[in-house]
């Protein structure tokens, strides 16, 4: 079906599209406006340091810190960073709607969907938060538009840039997006027309190369931290304590002296961040690297522990799938966030100190959105089960989007639960894509239904 001529165009610029993008961004910015300041997390002290010092921390890449510095205009205000994130998310959602509802009116459905998603999912929260969590969704949306092959060369290059930047912001993205690209490659003949296969394969290959190349921006952080995060995952899954029970009589690990402590405190947050954790009592991240790397390797490949690892991974993945509420980590931080703002964005400090989050009033309102989010996910799953079979052969763009977004949510859940820890942050950064996919299916079904009615009426006339 041919596209209808776009209205409100000036010199080839679709004014209506960009006005819709701005409107969507304003909606997505509501949590920051309600709070009186962009939402902050304890990790932001490190991200601000990495961007403005600058330097690569031992436990995370430098990319998001540099993104903060760039989008805040070298420290004018973090509101600019939140606005940039909201504009980017809004623009990508509008692009997705225009590609899937091609030939139909898409702007109003897109704005209505953004409004619904802002109150019934995590998208507005993560877009208003100074944290790289939003980058997971941005990368998935960008990957879809890249693979669709409908954008101009300039826009495609920009999408590749956005995709690569987002991959570089979090270490988990390497495995998540390598797996997503592998799945798209395996089903490429189902997802693309024969004439598209050559370009699709080239773009998948380029995306994979860019994904893997991000190792160069985060290699130091990976080498210094992967053994610690893996130990936290083993502890949470119950594998570490069983491993130590078997190995400690013959292996004289330093951590063996604390296996009873770990059995009583299996929370990975205690292990990773508490000053009283065996991790820090025995010397810290660097001094335990050799010992922890050996434990992680043996606990993964030795048959007596491998099955425990698989069971632990599946159980943790299921728990993470149910954990996607907003508000995780948004407690009233005095330090290190306050100290980082004082050092690098001093004019923002009094604004942050006046915010609801700083004064302990923000998390009082998250219960209702989190309940609505869970309801939305359940309704979305049911909707997709009903409508995807109907739309499967009608709209290739929707099928491609669903084939990237839905596996993307599942793979994100598995990777974070298996190799890091169960955390609401890790769930909510991608889970909102399920309601988005469901809304797209509903609008598309509605558009086809109305089109069919018009055809019937015209035939009768």
- Which strand (E) or helix (H) includes residue 434? helix 433-460
Q: Please state, as a whole number, how many other Cβ atoms lie within 10 Å of the Cβ of residue 385.
A: 10
pTM for this predicted structure: 0.94
**Ramachandran area for residue 421 (φ above 0: left; ψ -120 to 50: alpha; else beta):** beta
Structure tokens at 94: 């509008």
Mean pLDDT of the chain: 93
Say what percent of the chain tops pLDDT 90. Answer: 85
CA dihedral of residues 246, 248, 253, 257 (deg, nearest 10): 120
SS3 content of the chain, % helix, strand, coil (to 5): 75, 0, 25
Which phi and psi (to 5°) does residue 432 adopt? -65, -15
Q: Please state, as a whole number, how many other Cβ atoms lie within 10 Å of the Cβ of residue 454.
A: 9
Residue the block writes with tokens 């998250």: 366
Q: Evaluate the omega torsion of the peptide bond into residue 336 and state whether it is cis, within 30 degrees of 0.
A: yes
User: What is the per-residue pLDDT across 348-399, written as a single tens digit (0 to 9) for each?
Assistant: 999 999 999 999 999 999 999 999 999 999 999 999 999 998 888 889 999 9
Question: Three-state SS across 108-142?
Answer: HHHHHHHHHHHHHCCHHHHHCECCCCHHHHHHHHH
- Report the pLDDT averaged over residues 410-438: 96
Q: Residue 39 forms beta bridges with which residues?
A: 129
3-state SS assignment for residue 37 = coil
Strand ranges (E), 113-226: none
Cα dist from 154 to 70, 95, 151, 161, 179, whole Å: 21, 15, 8, 11, 27
Cα dist from 131 to 165, 256, 426, whole Å: 14, 36, 11
User: Would you say residue 334 has pLDDT above 90?
Assistant: no
User: What is the per-residue pLDDT across 196-242, written as a single tens digit (0 to 9) for each?
Assistant: 999 999 999 999 999 999 998 887 888 889 999 999 999 999 999 99
Structure tokens at 154: 């300039």
Question: What DSSP string runs through 44-76?
Answer: HHHHHHHHHTT---SSS-SHHHHHHHHHTTTTT
User: Would you say residue 6 has pLDDT above 70?
Assistant: no
């Amino acid at each position: 079906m041919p596209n209808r001529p776009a209205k409100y165009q000036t010199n080839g610029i679709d004014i209506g599209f960009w006005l819709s993008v701005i409107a969507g961004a304003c909606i997505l910015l509501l949590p920051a406006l309600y709070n009186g300041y962009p939402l902050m997390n304890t990790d932001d002290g490190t991200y601000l340091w990495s961007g403005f010092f600058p330097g690569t921390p031992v436990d995370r890449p430098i990319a998001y810190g540099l993104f903060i510095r760039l989008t805040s205009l070298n420290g004018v205000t973090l509101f600019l960073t939140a606005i940039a994130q909201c504009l980017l998310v809004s623009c990508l959602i509008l692009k997705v709607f225009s590609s899937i509802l091609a030939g139909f009116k898409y702007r109003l459905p897109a704005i209505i969907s953004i409004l619904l998603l802002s109150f019934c999912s995590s998208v507005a929260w993560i877009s208003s938060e100074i944290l790289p969590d939003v980058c997971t969704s941005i990368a998935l949306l960008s990957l879809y538009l890249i693979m669709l092959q409908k954008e101009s060369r300039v826009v495609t290059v920009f999408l590749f840039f956005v995709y690569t930047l987002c991959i570089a912001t979090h270490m988990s993205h390497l495995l998540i997006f390598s797996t997503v690209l592998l799945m798209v490659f395996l089903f490429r003949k189902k997802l693309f027309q024969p004439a598209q296969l050559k370009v699709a394969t080239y773009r998948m290959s380029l995306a994979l190369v860019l994904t893997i190349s991000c190792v160069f921006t985060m290699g130091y952080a990976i080498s210094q931290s992967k053994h610690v995060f893996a130990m936290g995952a083993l502890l949470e899954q119950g594998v570490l304590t069983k491993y130590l029970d078997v190995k400690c009589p013959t292996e004289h690990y330093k951590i063996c002296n604390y296996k009873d402590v770990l059995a009583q405190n299996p929370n990975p947050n205690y292990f990773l961040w508490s000053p009283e954790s065996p991790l820090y009592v025995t010397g810290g991240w660097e001094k335990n690297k050799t010992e922890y790397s050996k434990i992680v390797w043996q606990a993964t490949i030795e048959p007596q522990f491998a099955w425990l690892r698989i069971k632990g991974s599946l159980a943790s993945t299921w728990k993470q799938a149910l954990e996607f509420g907003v508000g995780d980590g948004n407690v009233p931080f005095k330090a290190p966030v306050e100290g980082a703002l004082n050092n690098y964005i001093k004019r923002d400090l009094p604004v942050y100190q006046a915010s609801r989050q700083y004064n302990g009033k923000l998390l009082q309102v998250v219960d209702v959105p989190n309940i609505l989010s869970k309801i939305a996910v359940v309704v979305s799953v049911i909707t997709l089960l009903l409508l995807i079979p109907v739309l499967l052969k009608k709209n290739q763009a929707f099928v491609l989007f669903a084939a990237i977004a839905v596996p993307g949510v599942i793979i994100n859940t598995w990777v974070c639960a298996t190799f890091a820890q169960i955390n609401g942050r890790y769930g909510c950064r991608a889970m909102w894509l399920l309601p988005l996919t469901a809304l797209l299916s509903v609008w598309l079904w509605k558009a086809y239904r109305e089109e069919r009615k018009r055809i019937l009426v015209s035939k009768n006339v």
